[in-house]
């Protein structure tokens, strides 16, 4: 039986981390199917989706855990894929940056039963001023009972200067 493993990784950033992980996954007949990896504040952090035969799972997890001796911490969890009666939407959001903005947005999403599948955020300087702008892009799993207009309206109520665009995925 094929299974999905979600790996989370954190280590001091240095060359060779991806090669080390991919070599271990390959030795256990795993297929690296998706990943999001980044260097943040001198740390390498990421999440990787691996599919493999259940018979290779124990060996892979043992060898991945052994990488902690070289400073690469990896946690593995079996994945699940039941999303029920939902559809996907893409969210693009821009507004003045302020402490708590991610909490405000995520609170609205959670209150509407929206699941965040992917979230990318950044703070950038506004082109015409010295103000910091918060930008977010997200892929959302939304209950079929919620349409994109209602979601847009709920997020726009957070602030007058928040620009929100919700589109079908």
- 104 phi and psi, to 5 degrees? -60, -45
Which class is 86-168 in CATH?
A: alpha beta
Collect all residues with Cβ–Cβ distance below 8 Å to 63 and sequence separation of at least 6.
24, 27, 28
**Cα first-last separation, the chain:** 30
2-78 is classed in which CATH architecture? 2-Layer Sandwich (3.30)
Would you kindly state where each structural domain of the chain is located, as residue ranges?
A: 2-78, 86-168
Task: Print pLDDT tens along the chain (169 aa).
Answer: 899 999 999 999 999 999 999 999 999 999 999 999 999 999 999 999 999 999 999 999 999 999 999 999 999 999 876 667 999 999 999 999 999 999 999 999 999 999 999 999 999 988 888 789 999 999 999 999 998 899 999 999 998 888 999 998 8
**What DSSP line would sit under 5-52, residue for residue?**
EEEEEEEE--TTHHHHHHHHHHHTT-EEEEEEEEEETTEEEEEEEEEE
Indicate if the alpha-carbon torsion angle 36, 39, 40, 46 is positive or negative.
positive
- 135 phi and psi, to 5 degrees? -125, 140
């Amino acid at each position: 039986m094929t299974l999905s493993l979600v790996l989370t990784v954190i280590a001091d950033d240095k060359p060779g981390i991806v090669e080390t992980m991919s070599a271990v996954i390959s030795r256990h007949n795993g297929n690296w199917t998706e990943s999001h990896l980044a260097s943040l504040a001198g740390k390498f952090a990421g999440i990787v989706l691996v599919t493999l035969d259940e018979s290779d799972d124990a060996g892979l997890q043992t060898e991945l855990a052994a990488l902690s001796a070289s400073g690469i911490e990896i946690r593995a969890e079996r994945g699940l894929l039941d999303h029920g009666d939902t559809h996907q939407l893409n969210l693009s959001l821009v507004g003045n940056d302020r402490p708590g903005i991610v909490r405000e947005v995520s609170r609205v999403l959670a209150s509407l039963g929206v699941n965040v599948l992917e979230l990318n955020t950044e703070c950038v300087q506004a082109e015409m001023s010295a103000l910091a702008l918060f930008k977010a892009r997200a892929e959302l799993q939304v209950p079929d009972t919620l349409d994109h207009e209602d979601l847009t309206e709920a997020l726009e109520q957070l602030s007058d200067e928040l620009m929100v665009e919700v589109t079908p995925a």
